[in-house]
């Protein structure tokens, strides 16, 4: 087993990594308390971290990575009610505001170039087309 120390150190000693995904030999993760998206190259032990444009005290969660969509790293911004996209090669972010306010989005899935997500407080399933920025939401018929 190999362990790596994430470079970001916060008040309580860490960045609180949450979501994790792999792509092309690299490991991507969200830093919930660090307000960053991180990348680890396990072959070299080198980290790269990008600060998310929208400041959040404790809001990043899930992450997915794909090369068949406009941005290769997508993540949830729970406190900001957004889905974020990052192009690691350029460090450019795009953020999309979820139509339902305070939706508490934490889970992501990719399919056919579209991003699907669950809205815990919104009681909905959502879909984002990152190419157009268009959202579609479906209300779940049962509460909680």
pTM over 0.75? The answer is yes
Give, rounded to a whole angstrom, the gap between the first and last alpha carbons of the chain. 39
116 is written with which tokens? 């699907």
Q: What is the DSSP letter of 48?
A: E
Q: Give phi and psi for 102, each to the nearest 5.
A: 50, 45
In a structure prediction context, what are the per-residue pLDDT tens digits for the chain, which is 144 residues long? 888 888 886 555 677 888 899 988 999 999 988 889 999 999 999 999 999 999 886 778 889 998 765 568 999 998 899 999 999 989 999 999 999 999 988 789 999 889 999 998 889 999 999 999 999 999 998 865
User: 58 Cβ partners below 8 Å, 6+ apart?
Assistant: 16, 32, 33, 79
Concatenate the DSSP letters of all residues of 8-25 into one string.
---TTSS--EEEEEEETT
Q: What is the dihedral of CA 104, 87, 30, 114, to 10 degrees?
A: 40
Q: How far apart are CA 85 and CA 11, in angstroms?
A: 27
Q: Give phi and psi for 100, each to the nearest 5.
A: -85, 120
Please check whether residue 68 is in contact with residue 50, taking contact to mean a CB–CB distance below 8 angstroms.
no
Q: Which CATH number fits domain 17-139: 3.40.50.1460, 2.130.10.10, 3.40.50.620, 3.40.50.1370?
A: 2.130.10.10
């Amino acid at each position: 087993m190999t362990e790596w120390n994430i470079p970001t150190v916060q008040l309580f000693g860490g960045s609180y990594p949450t979501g994790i995904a792999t792509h092309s030999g690299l490991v991507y993760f969200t830093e919930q308390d660090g307000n960053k998206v991180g990348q680890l190259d396990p072959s070299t032990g080198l980290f790269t971290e990008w600060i998310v444009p929208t400041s959040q005290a404790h809001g990043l969660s899930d992450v997915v990575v794909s090369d068949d969509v406009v941005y290769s790293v997508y993540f949830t911004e729970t406190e900001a009610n957004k889905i974020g996209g990052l192009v690691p090669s350029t460090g450019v972010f795009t953020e999309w505001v979820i139509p339902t306010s305070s939706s508490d989005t934490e889970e992501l899935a990719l399919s056919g170039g579209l991003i699907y997500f669950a809205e815990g407080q919104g009681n909905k399933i959502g879909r984002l087309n990152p190419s157009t920025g268009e959202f579609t939401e479906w209300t779940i018929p049962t509460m909680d």
